[in-house]
Amino acid sequence: MEENNQASGTRSTSMIQEDHEASSVEDILKEAIKNRHQILYLNYKCLPEFPMVLCSVKEDGQSLYDHVERLYMKRNLLETLPSGISRLCGLKELYLHSNNLSSLPDELSAVPHLESLDVSENCLQNLPSSIGRCPCLQKLILSNNQLNQLPPEIGNIKTLETLIVNDNHLSLLPTEIGNCVKLKSLNVDRNRLRRLPRQLTRLVYLEELSAQGNKLLYIPMDLGCCTDALRSVYVDNNPHLEAVPFNLWKKDVGARRCGTLPILESEYSASLRVNVDGMSALLPPEIKVAMTTVDSKVYQVPSLLEITLKYVNSVLGCNRYTSQENLDTLPKDLAERVRFPISNCSAPNGCDNKIFTIAWVHLLKIKWAQPWQEDANSIGLVAFLCSETCYKIFKRIPIPI
């Protein structure tokens, strides 16, 4: 990652980098002012503190270093950042890989043009909620910290395109992440996640989702259903994950070493588990009734909740793009359920009916083109259908390969 960041400069900037590596911090900072350098390389300098001169202002009140756009400070000893950092008014990229940061100041969100922040390999246990006020942050890299959670305010960063939080301690992702409407790449590898919020299905620009090495029990059923942008979903090494949504069958899916460990019943007491043709899958807990054969003759009267959700959804013309304002009259939990059905019907007749609490479920394996399908442990696909009719159509029509 750092190679990419630092190779982004031109030949002349790499010469500056070499210069900086050999020079003292004082010389670099003096030279930077004299030549109005846009890039400052202060990597590997053993700096115990952020150089305060970078935060100083001239007599006219302007920042002394307002020309600095990219600041690289890999492998120093920084424990905090000064509040004056917001005076770096030209700063677009701040690279603080491998320091000792245990917190970030609220003033970071006042750096007016900050587009890229990399604080990988630090000791962060929390991310301040003020991060949501960063006006133009596009890239946020938080790899290898000790984060237990992300603040819901992260959903306020409407400019965010890349969010990398691998190797932390997250057990939940905030549902508000679905508000990061420009997100293209999300990496939450090696955390402690059991589920991913279904609000992720709202991210129409999401191209790559990586959630390897977690404890996922299922993934959002509608993932990949309504957007062509999503290309790759990597969920390898989720030992309890038994099946991925049918909608992903045309995508690049990594699912090695999934379904290798049994799930204790106590771990999924709120969820139904279905078995079809020797395969099994755990369903999201919102599904209360699951039918897996037409012979079972389990004809249920739809619950009041299912009827209500379907009705409100159709009356409001809800879909994942519907704004919250249309739903403001509903309690938040109900509004979220209306807005984000568990799945659309997967029948190939274009049915597309919304499914909230009742589903006809089919499990299947098809010969995928990806290499992982040849693995002994390759996992199945789970399809949700809205009715017996759609279920029969789905089973009758062969999947084109």
Scanning 54-62, 143-151, 304-312, 384-392 for contacts with Zn ion by CB under 5 A, the matching segment is 384-392
Closest to Zn ion by CB, 41 or 394: 394
Distance of alpha carbon 313 from the chain centroid: 26
**Phi/psi at 291 (5° precision):** -110, 135
**Phi/psi at 110 (5° precision):** -95, 0
d(CA 181, CA 313): 21
Residues 6+ apart with CB under 8 A from 300: 289, 291, 358
What's the N-to-C CA distance of the chain in angstroms? 36
Closest to Zn ion by CB, 11 or 396: 396
Q: Does 386 bind Zn ion (CB under 5 A)?
A: yes
Beta-strand runs (E) in 221-269: 232-234, 243-245, 252-254
User: In b/e form, how buried is each residue of 102-118, taking b as 16+ CB within 10 angstroms?
Assistant: eebbebbbbbeebbbbb
Residues near Zn ion (CB under 5 A), total: 6
Residue pair 39/70 in contact by the 8 Å Cβ criterion: yes
Q: Shortest gap between Cβ of 353 and Zn ion (angstroms)? A: 4
**In the structure encoding, which two tokens stand for residue 269, read together?**
């007491």
Describe the strand order of the beta sheet including 289-291 as a list of residue ranges: 243-245, 380-385, 358-364, 289-291
Binding letters toward Zn ion, positions 295-334, x by CB under 5 A: ----------------------------------------
Q: Shortest gap between Cβ of 386 and Zn ion (angstroms)? A: 3
d(CA 76, CA 42): 8
Bridge partners for 140 per DSSP: 117, 163
Binding letters toward Zn ion, positions 331-370, x by CB under 5 A: --------------x-x---x-x-----------------
Pairing of strands 354-355, 343-344: antiparallel
**In the structure encoding, which two tokens stand for residue 389, read together?**
């009719």
Q: How many CB atoms lie within 10 A of CB 164?
A: 19
Scanning 16-24, 143-151, 313-321, 381-389 for contacts with Zn ion by CB under 5 A, the matching segment is 381-389
Q: Shortest gap between Cβ of 213 and Zn ion (angstroms)? A: 35
Closest to Zn ion by CB, 72 or 394: 394
Closest to Zn ion by CB, 290 or 345: 345
Q: Shortest gap between Cβ of 336 and Zn ion (angstroms)? A: 23
Q: Shortest gap between Cβ of 382 and Zn ion (angstroms)? A: 15
Q: Does 162 bind Zn ion (CB under 5 A)?
A: no
Q: Shortest gap between Cβ of 348 and Zn ion (angstroms)? A: 10
Closest to Zn ion by CB, 370 or 389: 389
Closest to Zn ion by CB, 26 or 388: 388
d(CA 218, CA 185): 20
Q: Does 390 bind Zn ion (CB under 5 A)?
A: yes
Q: Shortest gap between Cβ of 291 and Zn ion (angstroms)? A: 13
Closest to Zn ion by CB, 178 or 245: 245
Q: Shortest gap between Cβ of 351 and Zn ion (angstroms)? A: 3
Closest to Zn ion by CB, 280 or 353: 353
Closest to Zn ion by CB, 381 or 386: 386
Closest to Zn ion by CB, 65 or 394: 394
Q: Shortest gap between Cβ of 286 and Zn ion (angstroms)? A: 18
d(CA 282, CA 271): 7
Scanning 91-99, 173-181, 257-265, 390-398 for contacts with Zn ion by CB under 5 A, the matching segment is 390-398
Q: Shortest gap between Cβ of 344 and Zn ion (angstroms)? A: 8
Q: Which contacts qualify for 10-14: CB closer than 8 Å, 24 or more apart?
A: 13/39
d(CA 134, CA 92): 12
Please give the residue ranges that form the binding site for Zn ion (CB under 5 A).
345, 347, 351, 353, 386, 390
